[in-house]
Amino acid sequence: MSSGGAEDDIPQAERKTVTDFCYLLDKSKQLFNGLRDLPQYGQKQWQSYFGRTFDVYTKLWKFQQQHRQVLDNRYGLKRWQIGEIASKIGQLYYHYYLRTSETSYLNEAFSFYSAIRQRSYYSQVNKEDRPELVVKKLRYYARFIVVCLLLNKMDVVKDLVKELSDEIEDYTHRFNTEDQVEWNLVLQEVAAFIEADPVMVLNDDNTIVITSNRLSETGAPLLEQGMIVGQLALADALIIGNCNNQVKFSELTIDMFRMLQALEREPMNLASQMNKPGMQESTEKPARRENPHKYLLYKPTFSQLYTFLAASFKELPANSVLLIYLSATGVFPSGRSDSEGPYDFGGVLTNSNRDIINGDALHKRNQAYKEMHCLHPGDLYPFTRKPLFIIVDSSNSVAYKNFTNLFGQPLVCLLSPTAYPKALQDQSQRGSLFMWEKCQDYLRKINRDIAQLLTHSRSIDQSFLQFFGDEFLRLLLTRFIFCSATMRMHKIFRQETRNYPESYPQLPRDETVENPHLQKHILELASILDVRNVFLENTLDDY
C-alpha cells in the first residue's frame, strides 16, 4: 500500500480489498508452512489440515482474479507473486497425490505448473536484483519436471530441462552464489534419469512410443470362470530405495519410480478448471480409491522404516495386503554361524549412514556387529500377522528365501537375481510399429496363459492364489513368472543359477517357470522380435 497522506485518498472499499488480500496471503503461507510439521505416515491426521489449506488457497486464487486491478494499483501485485500462489497450489496437488496415490491430482498439479509457464508469471524475475526470487523460479522448474516425469510427458521434460539449464546459467552468471554446484547437480541428475528410462523409437517411420508401467484396462489378465482365487486387495505399499550409485532425481530412484507407477492405474483427468487456471473443490475425491496408498522412502533409517511399517500395519483394512518393495544394496553375513536364524543370512541396507557411537575404528575391528540399518528377514516377521507381499531387488535378495511364515497368513517374497551376466548389454529395442503392437497383443496372451497355469496348479502354495485376486498383484505375479521363465531360457542367463529370480514360497517349476507350453510361447515371441538365436531351443539341456 502507499504510505503517507496518499493513503487517506484510497477509497475504503479498495483499502478493505488490500487488507483482505494480505490476510489471505499471510494465512495461506502460515498453513502451507505448517504442512511440513504433519507426520508423513498415517492416513487420518493430515486430511483436515490439507482441507483447510486448500480452502484458503482457493479463496486467495479467486480473490486475486476478481480484484486484480485494485491489487495492481493499490498493492503493487507482481506477476511473480501470482506465479508463486499458483506454484504453491501445484505443490498442494502434488503432495495430495503423494498422500492419496490418486494420479488424477498429478494432472491438477501439471495444469497449474503449465499455466505458470504459459503465462510467463516468472518472466520478470530475472530483471530484479534479488537472487532469492530466481531460486523460487528454479525450484518451480525442478518440481514441474518431477510431475512431468511421473506423467510420462517426456517431450515437456526435455523442454523444461533446456529452460532450466538456461536459467541456471543466467543465475550463476549474475550472482556470486554458493549453490551453483547444487543446481548443476540437479541438471545432471535429471539428464541421467531421462537416459535411464529411454523412449522406444520404432524404425519404420521414427515413431516414438513412450512406454508406461501403469496398469491399463488391458494390463492385468482377467480372471476367467473357474479360477479360484482369494479376495484380498492391495491397500498399502512401502517403496524403499537405497542402491549405490543408482540414478535418482529428487529423492526418487529409477527403481522407485518404476515400482511407483506399477502400483497405479493410468491417470484420469478430473473435471478441471485449469484453463484459467482455477481450482476444484479442495475436498473433492474420486468415488473410490483406485490405487493402493504408497509411502516413498529414500534411504530411510531403520527407525524411520519401522515407524512407517508400524503405521501402515496398524491402519491396514480387513482383507487387505501390505506390499514392501526393497531396492537396496545387499548386506552379507560376516562369517559362518552355528545357527541359521532369520538374522544369519544378512539382508538389505536401507541407509548407508552408520550410527557411530563408539567410533568407526571399533566397527572396523569387530565385524561381528551387525549393520544397524540392515533390514533382515527377521525384522519383518512381526508384520506377517497380516497378508504381506514382499519384492526384493538386491544383490542379497536370497536372504529372504529363508523366510518363515509363523502366523499362517498369505505371504509371498519375489526375489531378484543376485547377479546379472556381464555380457548382457542394455541396448535400446527397435522394430516396426506393427511388430510393437503384435508383441503387445502376444504378451497379453502369454499373461492370460500364465494366469491359467498358476490357478490350475495342484502343487502351488496357496499364498500365491490368495494374492491373485488383486489386479496389481496379479500383474506383478504374471510378470515375475514370465521374467523368470525367459531368463531360464536365455543362453547368457543360464550360465549361472544366481542369474535367476527366486521366490518364497518356491513356485512349482514344472507347472510355471519351466512349463513347456510357456517356453513355447517365449520362443514364438522371440521369433517375432528376431532374437530367437539367444534362446535355447531345448531348455531341458544342462547349461
pLDDT tens, position by position, 365-415: 344 567 889 999 999 999 999 999 999 999 999 999 988 899 999 999 999
Q: Compute the half-sphere exposure of residue 120: CA atoms within 13 Å on the CB side of its CA.
A: 3
| Mean pLDDT across 5-34 | 86
Q: What is the pLDDT of residues 201-224, one digit of tens each?
A: 555 555 566 667 788 766 778 887
Return the closest-CA partner of residue 395 out of 498, 274, 300. 498
**Intra-chain end-to-end CA distance of the chain, in Å:** 81
Give the pLDDT of residue 540: 46
Type of residue numbered 527: S
Give the pLDDT of residue 281: 41
Judged against a pLDDT cut of 70, whether residue 134 lies above it is answered with yes
Distance, CA of 32 to CA of 6 (rounded, Å): 34
SS3 content of the chain, % helix, strand, coil (to 5): 50, 10, 40
Return the closest-CA partner of residue 171 out of 142, 207, 200. 142
**Where does 359-459 have alpha helices with state H?**
360-365, 433-455
User: E strands within 395-446?
Assistant: 411-415
Give the pLDDT of residue 339: 65
pLDDT band at 451 (very low <50, low <70, confident <90, very high): very high
Judged against a pLDDT cut of 50, whether residue 228 lies above it is answered with yes
Contacts of 437 (CB under 8 A, 6+ apart): none
Is the C-alpha dihedral spanning 105, 110, 111, 115 positive or negative?
Answer: positive
Give the pLDDT of residue 370: 76
Return the closest-CA partner of residue 469 out of 236, 234, 229. 229
Q: What is the pLDDT of residues 409-449, one digit of tens each?
A: 999 999 999 988 876 645 444 444 566 677 888 888 999 99
CA distances from 246 to 255, 276, 524 (A): 8, 40, 34
- Residue corresponding to grid cell 543408482: 246
Q: What is the pLDDT of residues 489-515, one digit of tens each?
A: 998 888 787 889 999 999 999 999 999
Q: What is the pLDDT of residues 306-365, one digit of tens each?
A: 999 999 999 999 999 999 999 999 999 876 666 678 888 899 999 986 543 333 433 343
SS3 330: strand
Q: Which has more pLDDT, 12 or 413?
A: 413
Judged against a pLDDT cut of 70, whether residue 541 lies above it is answered with no
Dihedral angle at the C-alpha atoms of 193, 199, 200, 203, nearest 10 degrees? Answer: -120
Domains of the chain in start order, with CATH, are: 12-197 (1.25.40), 233-268+289-353+369-534 (3.40.50.1460)
Give the pLDDT of residue 44: 66
| Mean pLDDT across 114-143 | 93
Distance, CA of 165 to CA of 186 (rounded, Å): 10
Average pLDDT, the chain: 84
Give the pLDDT of residue 302: 94
